Structure 1
């Protein structure tokens, strides 16, 4: 079963090497998934033009972004001509606006997503190893509990920064104005206001994380056994990540719908200074959606969410695992060469 010290090790890699692996995964995920969502938003704006003050949620595979339309010339949602489809949209945007337009909004994502992802993955690895050591015969469930706890820690630490990120996304504020905005919120509603939205985020992200990591470890183990390999290849990690991400995305979709609705309502309140009448709790929002749109309302956006989440999870985890595998082999080779010759 091993010692406590070995249980707390980060899979044979140093914390710095794990951070590099995490950063590489976050960067690659953002670079690949961001253009897909930019194109999706342009096609959506073409079908239903966004009016001033309208909110929409943009997600590049790592984080949600709440955006508020101020005019028709914003790079996020302006239309360069009429798009005939996804491929035509890609080529038209590159031809008319330059290739960098496909990565609109990427910088604020990286500023927030990289630290959040480092915290999340580091916590998961530490907790999984520790729980595997403590649980012994029930170690199969260690990823489930480790995934849930790691997400709670990550969400709790990052939540106060969400207010800053949201404000800076749709309104050009100086750092002094941003500081005044935060001080005003704290003075009015207390320090707890910095964690506004924590509940709905946890209800969506914690079950997702628990299911994702449990299924990922089980699928990875099964694929390794099937292909007779002791360590997962890039393809095995990619496949396991895509499948487990899809399962978790479908299971937690109602919570995602609720969180999106509340984000949009809060964004429109900030844009118009009008307080929208909406239920206060997540469950009441769910009941309201169910009463208005039925069961299908809770699963709105089913296909787009799966199409987005599956590749994002696959790219992130396979890059992360590949990075750790690379450093693990490198560390073993260095240790071998550094050992004294008998």
Structure 2
């Protein structure tokens, strides 16, 4: 047997072991579902970011309403302007959702094994969701910053590499972790609340609805209901995160962002961009979970 044949055999054997690993299967299923949902709902994320930034960044004389904003973007940046920031979004969401689902699988399996239970309670699912999202949030915070800045229209980076280099040069290593705390305050509670309500809703409906031809509709509906409340509760943290990542010199702390938003816009300011974010997070999470449930069933994780 030649060296090449030995190498081919070793690689095939390694792939067989890897592809049979449940954590890898969870990562793969999550990444596939993340790709689909990220591409479809990217315009909603961009609109959410634009609504949260200062009015001067939207354009002089332009209304901050959703419809005028869409019209302005299409007129000045064409239709594909709604997908600005797609590359960093994919770089963040595809491995991020894969990492989230694989962490969920690992933590859930560990919990069940050490508690002797056959399933997790809704509140336990919530805690597992918080932990899983915190892991992926910390790892991917630099890409989250790049995504926010690309979407905002405030910065004119030509590529992700240039953006990364400029942030590191001007702001140092801390610039690549800007807004980490509000990001975790947004993502971890969202995932915890979402998973808790998603699990509870699935338990509340007839088990027959989760099987057969109506299973996809049932999973999607459970996801939508869970996403609406989770999005509303975590919206203020998302607004603060956006301010800190776009204007690091003006908002060095969470407190400074909190005070500015309240003075400038009142309580309403903490919920800027709620509608597009609620639509995106709710539909994206519902779609991701629906696809994930189907894929895990097909590859033998269920």
**TM norm. shorter chain > 0.5:** yes
Q: Which runs of 5+ in 2 are unaligned?
A: 1-19, 65-70
Name the CA shift for 1:217/1:248 in 2 (closer, same or farther; >3 Å). Answer: same
Q: Which structure has the larger Rg over C-alpha atoms?
A: 1
Identify the residue that residue 22 of structure 1 maps to in structure 2. 30
Is 1:171 the counterpart of 2:179 in the alignment? Answer: no
Q: Is residue 19–residue 118 contact of structure 1 (8 Å, CA) maintained in 2?
A: yes
User: d(CA) in 1 for partners of 2:159 and 2:226?
Assistant: 39
- CA shift, 1:37, in A, is 5.6
* Contact 1:133/1:139, CA 8 A, preserved across alignment: no
Q: How far apart in 2 are the matches of 1:132 and 1:175?
A: 42
Instruction: Select which of 216, 219, 229 maps to 1:234.
Output: 216
Structure 1: runs of 5+ lacking an equivalent: 1-11, 57-75, 82-92, 267-274, 333-342
Distance in 1 (CA, whole Å) between partners of 2:204 and 2:196 is 12
In the alignment, what sits opposite 2:292?
Answer: 320
- Could you tell me whether the CA contact under 8 Å between 1:152 and 1:202 is conserved in 2? yes
- Report if aligned partners of 2:134, 2:188 keep a CA contact under 8 Å in 1: yes
TM-score, normalization by structure 2: 0.71
**How far 1:199 sits from its partner (Å)?**
0.9
Would the alpha carbon gap of residues 170 and 133 (structure 1) be closer, same or farther in structure 2, given more than 3 Å must change? farther
1:225 maps to 2:202 = no
Alignment: residue pair count: 269
**Which string of whole-angstrom CA distances, capped at 9 and with x for unpartnered residues, describes residues 167-191 of structure 1?**
77731269588547526644xxxx4
The answer on 1:306 being equivalent to 2:278 is: yes
Shift of 1:303: 2.8
Over aligned residue pairs, what C-alpha RMSD do you find? 4.2
1:256 match:
238
* 8 Å CA contact retained: 1:128, 1:142: no
Kindly report which structure 2 residues correspond to 1:76-225, keeping only aligned pairs within 5 A, or say none: 78-80=73-75, 103-135=83-115, 139-140=120-121, 141-162=123-144, 170-172=156-158, 175=161, 178-179=164-165, 182=168, 185-186=171-172, 191-225=173-207
Structure 2 CA distance, aligned partners of 1:289 and 1:40?
Answer: 16
**Change beyond 3 A, Cα 1:256–1:33:** same
Matched with 2:6 is none
Q: CA deviation at 1:305?
A: 2.6
Distance in 2 between the 1:18 and 1:240 partners?
20
